[in-house]
């Protein structure tokens, strides 16, 4: 069955119905994640409860939605994209659990709830992150390979996005930049890795699940890169313009931790302009889809306007 981005996903006015798409994607992803993860009672129950606690804490599921939307743009099926949508959410959740640890950002709240280590203790939180990262590769190894994309290609894609040259590199550079004045080029380096790498990987994996052409993969890569950068600029803006209640995590943490952000370097207005420009570049990347990438377009617009 192909992913609906036409028909029932059209609102009565004929525009793409993003809320309906997001609700259906979230429901499908939550059900699939529930199937992939060991049940909370499975021994050792503590680790499975901790993994599930953060995974089902109410994240926005943007990476899975991007993965499913990319598959739809390439004419793929939900059944083929869903495992990879779950994989990117497992890696994302692992990174949040570890980011919140006392040795990293030391945060008490995430996704509107106490952070994993506050509930389960530091040791179990570290292990819950480790187990979610490993779970991601277990699920990826069982997904359906496609003529152009073998399991090896898919697993390499994930390992590179999550490894010490991308996601981990971003976190290292972020930690090392704390309390320092860094140039905008270094901030871009951090954002490319800590945020954009996994978003770009999400859309690329969606495309791969649909056996996309090399030209489509290139377009998705360009789209994911720019949406990923915009996502982080918006995240920095929200950190200073929204409340902790709205964000579900401690607001104002960046300036408190003397973190370099776009607003701190170029100001709020210029940051908004940068986020808009990056989103326009993301739209431009979708040209080769000739209007077939409606869900990706709607998601990029939604991410630019998001308030949490
Ligand atoms: C620990 C290896 C390692 C990496 C951590 C994810 C991360 C890197 C740090 C968390 C802080 C941060 C600002 C990361 C950038 C990505 C980002 C904005 C994450 C929040 O993503 P959302 O808003 O969160 O999609 P939900 O909870 O909705 O899934």
pLDDT tens for residues 75-118? 999 999 999 999 999 999 999 999 999 999 999 999 999 999 99
What distance in angstroms lies between residue 84's CA and the mean position of ligand 1's atoms? Answer: 18
Chain segment 59-73, per-residue pLDDT in tens: 999 999 999 999 999
Q: pLDDT at position 243, please?
A: 87
Residue with the bigger pLDDT between 26 and 264: it is 26
Contact 254, 239 (CB under 8 A): yes
CA of 262 to the centre of ligand 1 (A): 16
Distance separating alpha carbons of residues 76 and 41, to the nearest angstrom: 35
Of 226, 200, 201, the closest CA to residue 285 belongs to 226
Residue 258 burial (CB count, 10 A) = 12
For 11: left if phi > 0, alpha if psi spans -120 to 50, otherwise beta; the answer is: beta
Residue 12 has pLDDT above 80, yes or no: no
In this prediction, residue 253 carries a pLDDT of 82
For residue range 113-170, list pLDDT tens digits in order: 999 999 999 999 999 999 999 999 999 999 999 999 999 999 999 999 999 999 999 9
CA of 96 to the centre of ligand 1 (A): 5
pLDDT confidence of residue 260: 87
**Among 96, 132, 246, 261, which is best to mutate for testing ligand 1, by the most ligand atoms less than 8 A from CB?**
96
**pLDDT for res 6:** 46
Model confidence at 1: pLDDT above 50: no
Report residue 15's pLDDT band, with 50, 70 and 90 as the boundaries: confident
Ligand 1 centroid from CA 194, angstroms: 8
Per-residue confidence at 258, pLDDT binned at 50, 70, 90? confident
Please list every protein residue whose CB sits less than 6 Å from any atom of ligand 1.
59-60, 62, 92, 95-96, 98-99, 111, 167-168, 171, 194-195, 232, 235
Atom of ligand 1 nearest to the CA of 129: 1
Closest ligand 1 atom number to CA of residue 248: 27
pLDDT digits (tens, 9 = 90+) for 178-217: 889 999 999 999 999 999 999 999 999 999 999 999 999 9
Indicate which atom in ligand 1 lies nearest the CA of residue 100.
10
pLDDT of residue 7: 41
Residue 14, pLDDT score? 61
206: CA distance to ligand 1 center in Å? 20
* Distance (Å) from CA 136 to ligand 1 centroid: 17
**pLDDT (0 to 100) of residue 256:** 75
Contacts of 43 (CB under 8 A, 6+ apart): none
Q: Which stretches of 107-166 are DSSP H helices?
A: 116-120, 122-141, 151-162
pLDDT over threshold 80, residue 236:
yes
Instruction: Give yes or no for residue 8 having a pLDDT over 60.
Output: no
Give the span between the Cα atoms of 3 and 212, in whole angstroms.
15
Residue 277: predicted pLDDT: 98
114 bridge partner residues: 109
């Amino acid at each position: 069955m192909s992913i609906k981005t036409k028909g029932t996903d059209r609102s009565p006015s004929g525009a793409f119905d993003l809320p309906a798409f997001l609700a259906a994607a979230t429901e499908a992803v939550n059900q699939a994640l529930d199937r992939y993860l060991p049940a909370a009672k499975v021994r050792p129950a503590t680790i499975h409860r901790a993994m599930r606690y953060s995974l089902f804490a109410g994240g926005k599921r943007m990476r899975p939605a991007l993965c499913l939307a990319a598959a739809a743009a390439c004419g793929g099926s939900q059944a083929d994209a869903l495992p990879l949508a779950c994989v990117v959410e497992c890696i994302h959740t692992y990174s949040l659990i570890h980011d919140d640890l006392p040795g990293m950002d030391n945060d008490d709240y995430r996704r509107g709830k106490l952070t994993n280590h506050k509930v389960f203790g530091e040791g179990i939180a570290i292990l819950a992150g480790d187990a979610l990262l490993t779970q991601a590769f277990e699920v990826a190894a069982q997904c359906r390979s496609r003529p152009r994309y073998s399991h090896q290609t898919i697993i390499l894609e994930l390992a590179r996005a999550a490894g010490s040259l991308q996601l981990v590199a971003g976190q290292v550079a972020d930690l090392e930049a704390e309390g320092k004045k860094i140039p905008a080029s270094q901030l871009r380096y951090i954002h490319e890795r800590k945020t954009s790498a996994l978003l770009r990987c999400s859309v690329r994996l969606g495309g791969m699940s649909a056996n996309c052409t090399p030209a489509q993969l290139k377009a998705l890569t360009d789209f994911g890169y720019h949406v990923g950068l915009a996502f982080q600029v918006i995240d920095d803006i929200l950190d200073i313009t929204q409340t902790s209640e709205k964000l579900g995590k401690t607001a104002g943490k960046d300036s408190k931790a003397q973190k370099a952000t776009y607003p701190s370097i170029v100001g709020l207005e210029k940051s908004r302009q940068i986020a808009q420009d990056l989103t326009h570049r993301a739209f431009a990347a979708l040209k080769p889809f000739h209007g077939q990438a409606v869900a990706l377009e709607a998601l990029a617009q939604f991410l630019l306007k998001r308030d949490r």
